[in-house]
Amino acid sequence: MKVFCGRANPTTGSVEWLEEDEHYDYHQEIARSSYADMLHDKDRVFKPMAEAAVKIVEKNGFTDKIKIINKHSTEVTVGPDGDMPCRANILITELFDTELIGEGALPSYEHAHRHLVQEKCEAVPHRATVYAQLVESRRMWSWNKLFPVRVHTSCGEQVIVPPSDLERCPGAPSVCDIQLNQVSSADFTILSDVLPMFSVDFSKQVSSSAACHSRQFEPLASGSAQVVLSWWDIEMDPEGKIKCSMAPFWAHSDPEELQWRDHWMQCVYFLPQEEPVVQGSSLHLVAHHDDYCVWYSLQRTSPGKNGRVHPARPVCDCQAHLLWNRPRFGEINDQDRTDQYIQALRTVLKPDSVCLCVSDGSLLSLLAHHLGAEQVFTVESSAASQRLMRKIFKTNHLEDKINIIEKRPELLTSADLEGKKISLLLGEPFFTTSLLPWHNLYFWYVRTAVDQHLGPGAVVMPQTASLHAVVVEFRDLWRIRSPCGDCEGFDVHIMDDMIQRALDFRESKEAEPHPLWEYPCRCLSEPQQILTFDFRQPVPPHLVRAEGSIELRRPGRSHGAVLWMEYHLTPDSTVSTGLLKSAEDKGDCCWNPHCKQAVYFFTTTDPKVPLDGPQTVSYTVEFHPHTGDITMDFSLSDTPDDGH
């Protein structure tokens, strides 16, 4: 049976209906779930999906001893006619996420103790403890707040300042989970020791009610308290002899034995406001939580005294955190990147320039105004971007200087532009609907749609773009797409087979987005330009195809190809969303930290691929103008390519 799935095309902007197999959603879930990574985690307790569990039980001859109940635990009944004949005396679970409680662990445990297990049961895991460390970090703080943007003009320096409600806003309510081990120690200053904030004993009654836990401490250094780094560990047994820790390397008991994980990472929490701290003074770090979320506050006295009100869960009320995700905040706050756009704008702007800016919530329109454009229009198609940009313009006294057009750019009319022709079409390009690097080619489709509104000799910036690729060896990321074989004595070949079938599904053969600054890798080839796109011309009607091969110049295991876009603002100015500099002798990669790159995993993801293996990678990449899709196929070759 076939089903039709509707989706908004992130590249063309149109709504499409695609015919898919009836198992489409199922295969999607498996292929994108990183179950393989979870199976590689040797000191983790895991519960396979019900279907796989049934097959494993059958294969190992335990059907008379193990009963699979395909229900949520809160729906399980106990009694003669229930799912379980009596209450259990051992509770084995895996309900945790990076934040520990974000998958509903507390209410699930609470229900289990009340309805499913005996009063003096034993739980595996037995106990969890959440830890926190207060730091100052301009880099991480830039993921949550908008910094002043400096623009050097012929009339002096102009400063674009954030609205006051954005400065006061506590930020997005969701946790920022990252591979904290990949954040350089130079990017933060430690202000406190590692503090155990609270523990949960899973063998006793658990409460999902809101609570707070305070820890008094003396700052190790003076500075600005901005960020709380947090993680947890679990003790599998009552004596705490078997422990599984999420601690980053500097807080881990045995850094040499650090287990790589992608399903559980570390948490970054932002304080509502940065606060000055003085070394040696007494402060209280407070962890607050409800049934699903954790957040932190810094207080001068112990919470609860003098009728103090506990801070509510942070919720964005400034619109910015609804429009910009954390990498986007970092990108906008990157002054070097802004200066690159400023230098490029100086070369194309004229005193009589009429500019149209097409990006979601971009500051390009303010840059164009400050650099002398006669008139500036900006298209903001979402309600969130309209409200945010109006506030930014008002704060900077530009509400009468920059015109916001509240519609999709494809629907622009001459009246929207006050009868004027556009002499400069601008884009970063950045659009909130983009997932893969080439989805921002939506700018090209907009350029095509507004062709009639461009005046003679109109300039488009960026002028062109190019798709690049490099073959890499990942230190760890290959694990999320690799069957695990034998896993510490468990017969998980059925699970392997299930994952492999999902990985063979069409969707998983496409590239997928990953923030590679968090996932170290080595370049085995030189970067290679695959396709080019000329924004000075409309989107062509015909398919664009590239075939070729990439020569491997360094020994290593070819786990996949990484693809990214480069935007050529002018002939002399290029912005890369991928590699920021050429690989060194060892091939270590430096990736743009504000963007996700596309990873195409090769079929052979086994870490035992010979180091002196394939010498070339052949590729076919096609751009389909009608759909905006880029399809690709990469294959490993066993012999060196002769260049033909």
The residue annotated as part of the active site, out of 20, 103, 275, 507, is 103
| Structure tokens belonging to residue 385 | 């971007």
**What's the pLDDT band for 13 if we cut at 50, 70, 90?**
confident
- The helix/strand/coil state of 101 is coil
Answer with the residue of higher pLDDT: 84 or 495.
84
Buried b (16+ CB within 10 A) or exposed e, 459-473: bbbbbbbbbbbbbbb
Average predicted confidence (pLDDT) for the chain: 88
- The helix/strand/coil state of 141 is helix
Contact at 8 Å (CB) between 490 and 26?
no
Backbone angles phi, psi at 73, to 5 degrees: -60, -30
The residue annotated as part of the active site, out of 20, 94, 507, 526, is 94
Q: What is the pLDDT of residue 22?
A: 53
Q: What is the pLDDT of residue 441?
A: 97
Percent of the chain with pLDDT over 70: 85
328 φ/ψ sector (left φ>0, alpha ψ -120 to 50, else beta): alpha
Answer with the residue of higher pLDDT: 294 or 607.
294
Q: Is the dihedral of CA 93, 98, 100, 102 positive or negative?
A: negative
Answer with the residue of higher pLDDT: 637 or 343.
343
Give CA angle at 327 (376, 475), nearest 5°: 140
Contact at 8 Å (CB) between 622 and 607?
no
Structural domains in the chain, CATH included, are: 3-97 (3.40.50.150), 128-152+164-303 (2.70.160.11), 334-461 (3.40.50.150), 464-637 (2.70.160.11)
CA 189 – CA 461 distance, rounded (Å)? 39
Q: What is the pLDDT of residue 289?
A: 95
Average pLDDT of the segment spanning 612-617: 72
Q: Lowest mean pLDDT: which of 195-209, 213-227, 326-340, 481-495? A: 481-495
Q: Lowest mean pLDDT: which of 17-31, 198-212, 362-376, 597-611? A: 17-31
Q: What is the pLDDT of residue 32?
A: 46
Asked about 103 being catalytic, the answer comes back as yes
Q: Lowest mean pLDDT: which of 155-159, 228-232, 469-473, 546-550? A: 155-159
Average pLDDT of the segment spanning 347-376: 96
Highest mean pLDDT of the ranges 301-315, 535-549, 592-606: 535-549
Q: What is the pLDDT of residues 424-438, one digit of tens each?
A: 999 999 999 999 999
| Structure tokens belonging to residue 192 | 């406190």
Q: Lowest mean pLDDT: which of 55-69, 120-134, 211-225, 263-277? A: 55-69
Q: Has residue 519 got a pLDDT over 80? A: yes
Q: What is the pLDDT of residue 106?
A: 97
Q: Has residue 132 got a pLDDT over 50? A: yes
Percent of the chain with pLDDT over 90: 73
Q: Has residue 584 got a pLDDT over 90? A: no
Q: What is the pLDDT of residue 547?
A: 97
Q: Is the dihedral of CA 598, 144, 316, 403 positive or negative?
A: negative
Helical (H) or strand (E) element with 118:
strand 117-124
**What's the pLDDT band for 500 if we cut at 50, 70, 90?**
low
Helix pair 493-503, 50-59: axis angle to 10 deg:
140
Q: What is the pLDDT of residue 506?
A: 42
CA 277 – CA 279 distance, rounded (Å)? 7
Asked about 94 being catalytic, the answer comes back as yes
Contact at 8 Å (CB) between 517 and 592?
yes
Q: What is the pLDDT of residues 143-163, one digit of tens each?
A: 999 999 999 988 889 999 999
Quickly tell me which residue has 């559980």 as its tokens: 264
Answer with the residue of higher pLDDT: 412 or 15.
412
For the whole model, what pTM was predicted? 0.89
Q: Has residue 314 got a pLDDT over 60? A: yes
CA 147 – CA 225 distance, rounded (Å)? 17
Contact at 8 Å (CB) between 70 and 76?
no
Q: What is the pLDDT of residue 52?
A: 81
- Count of residues in the chain: 644
Residue 115: closest CA among 73, 70, 69: 73
| Structure tokens belonging to residue 381 | 């198609």
Average pLDDT of the segment spanning 278-299: 95
Average pLDDT of the segment spanning 314-319: 91
